Structure 1
């Protein structure tokens, strides 16, 4: 396995030499799903439905059951009419405590968060159909991230807004006592990004402007399209599922052009002469879900884990940080009570996570608390986080 990974890395590194331009890291198109984060970030082998769209295309084969007019039990897919979610990365508890016990303004409290561990937030919306071998969905995700810095004079933020379509298909093969499901998907995306927004410069421009408006004329904004291709395979044996996926195969490249104005803001019109890519990853997962007949309607438990191996070298991509083995290992569990209440827990990159889910007929509510490692090793730069989702689905 190590030889295969090294060979792929060598091919990708050699192909990169053909380009004279610098190569920069662009984050993968994904969201902070509370269903996933509450279970330690592991969702490769155990995933299904809307949350699996950006995880494993082989899971599109999974379907629920319903009784038709003839009284027969038939398979059904999951329809998500609308999913709305938000996430917060930072120490929300200290933020609320300081806001009550000090006279600091909101901006000062936010800057304190950045210097203590970083700050971020996201909003996401989408809809999809997943099941009976098909997965089709449209989603948009806006993320703002301010990495940790030592002083407020160096505070910068990155804004990334991605809208993408996912379309995939999975096919099962019955092989005696085991079942193999192979799936693939295509993800055309449009991404808007504004990197290294200097917060101090923006606030200074507002104070010097007679109208108090913030000027973004020194901010470089880019917009471009990218198309990603993913593969996944699930192997079923009794109560076990073993999975492997390859995402962003061959590295997903975004073809950026400068954006002079957007969202009512004017940006600098600087030319783009760099390559932005999302690294190719190889991912493994395993899950155990004991089948207990009718008892599963009242108590349904799943234990699972996953591991991610990026197929890229750190020194070949600006802005990319290699993480240790333990940081890329996720473990989780989910217990569903009465087919409507889900309790979730896990370990994500060395940190404990917890979450819940409520299925209220056509409305689902999920929430999670977690921590993410933004450094190379567990304990380097942990960032607390929380996410919520409200969905209309059946």
Structure 2
């Protein structure tokens, strides 16, 4: 029983903490500072610059705050599982339910999951927890995201690695509208500042995970032998909407302005853990000797996205049927450079989706992202909101290289703002 508890705690540690680090200063997603996974946005193919509302506006387009819509998330919790079909087919779930021998459970689960991992980058699971408020053009929120990535040079078990990452952010946004011709032409302008803290891990192999689980004190072993990198930045997003008649809107968003992170790499993750414990006013968790620290900087380059949206004005029919359509072209600066050598590069930058709200209670969504289909559904039950989406994302260099399926489920208690 004690062994099974240690294994369970190790899995929770891997999934739910930031006690991990790279031994090099690269971010896992070089062009991304921090962006939560939205079940609604993913179901619409990742599109929504012109249609995002509520907390999604913080990260999609702060100019949308100018709509002055009220939303309140207390809280919103999302869980995203990657490769869900492969996990079911592998029998991992049955092994966890039926395996009575804790001494072999960790090895069985790790080996089977690593068998799913293919060459290149990938994902295991992501959790997002947020509390936010928007209204009157203002917005404020707090977000925490935990991610478990994979990396493999050739897809073989001996080279498969796990990487963990945590992001914590406080978002402060403001948007306002300039009415040039009422009901005909108006412009929204908005900005979001996002103090962000990021910590991420070294590449940890399957055998290392099993060795940690077999140790008498896995937490101390991990904190004494594995490094962690952590640091902060205050990226800023700026957005603009041009609102046209009959619900048309054209949008542009510049992301990750001021995206320079001040980072520290800790030779022993226990030193970082103790700093966090001291910050929280708690006793030190790591009791071993201290290691060296190295400071460095990492800059996430700014990007420019364009979007087009249409929310038809259906009058009284809008209570029964409320459609919206979105089309985005992301990272157009990189796109312009890529088009010089690849005429089809634009396909990697296209996002498109649609949503239909029925009877103000049910949302049906679909979208296309780099040619892959996305589907989703949402239920609005007074102050309870549940969204689910199933979609594919490309993790290879080109479309078709490495598509990975994902399932996101979000629960939100509050007012959704749509």
1:13-41 CA-to-partner distances (Å, cap 9, x unmatched) read xxxxxxxxx97345321111111100100
Equivalent residue, structure 1, for 2:254: 246
- Pairwise mapping of residues 5-84 of structure 1 onto structure 2 (< 5 A)? 24-25=26-27, 26=30, 27-64=32-69, 77-84=70-77
TM-score by length of 1: 0.82
Question: Are 2:33 and 2:259, in contact at CA under 8 Å, matched by a contact in 1?
Answer: no
Please state how far the C-alpha of 1:121 moved relative to its aligned partner.
Answer: 0.6
TM-score, with length taken from structure 2? 0.77
More helix by share: 2
- SS of equivalent residue, structure 1 residue 49: coil
Q: Within 5 A, what are the aligned runs for 1:276-355?
A: 276-309=298-331, 324-355=345-376
Residue 179 to residue 96, structure 1, CA distance change in 2 (3 Å): same
1:385 aligns with 2:388: no
Q: Structure 1 205/301 Cα, relative in aligned 2: closer, same or farther at 3 Å? A: closer
**Alpha-carbon distance, 1:219 to partner:** 2.3
CA RMSD of aligned residues (A): 2.7
Q: Distance between the aligned counterparts of 1:280 and 1:373, measured in 2?
A: 21
**CA shift at 1:51, angstroms?**
1.8
The aligned runs of 1:1-394 (5 Å cut-off) are 24-25=26-27, 26=30, 27-64=32-69, 77-90=70-83, 92-99=84-91, 105-115=108-118, 118-148=122-152, 149-176=154-181, 177-207=184-214, 209=215, 215-216=221-222, 217-238=224-245, 239-258=247-266, 259=269, 260-262=271-273, 269-309=291-331, 324-394=345-415
- Whether the 8 Å contact between 1:369 and 1:385 is mirrored in structure 2 is yes
Q: Aligned pair count?
A: 351
1:197-219 C-alpha deviation (Å, 9 max, x unpaired): 23322323544x45677832442
Per-residue deviation, 1:304 = 1.1
Partner of 1:68: none
Distance 2:362 2:317 in 1: 15
Q: In the aligned structure 2, how far is the partner of 1:233 from the partner of 1:212?
A: 50
The one-character-per-residue Cα deviations of 1:319-359 (angstroms, maximum 9, x if unpaired) are xxxx9421221010001001111000000122000001100
Larger mean CA deviation between 248-257 and 130-139 belongs to: 248-257
Q: How far is 1:308 from its partner?
A: 1.2
Retained in 2: the 8 A contact 1:57–1:170? yes
Note if contact 2:114-2:206 (Cα within 8 Å) is conserved in structure 1. Answer: no
CA distance in 2, matches of 1:116, 1:93: 18
Unpaired segments of 5 or more residues in structure 2? Answer: 1-23, 100-104, 278-284, 336-343
Q: Is the strand fraction higher in 1 or 2?
A: 1
CA contact (8 A) 2:229 2:263 kept: no
Conservation of the 8 A alpha-carbon contact between 1:115 and 1:152? no
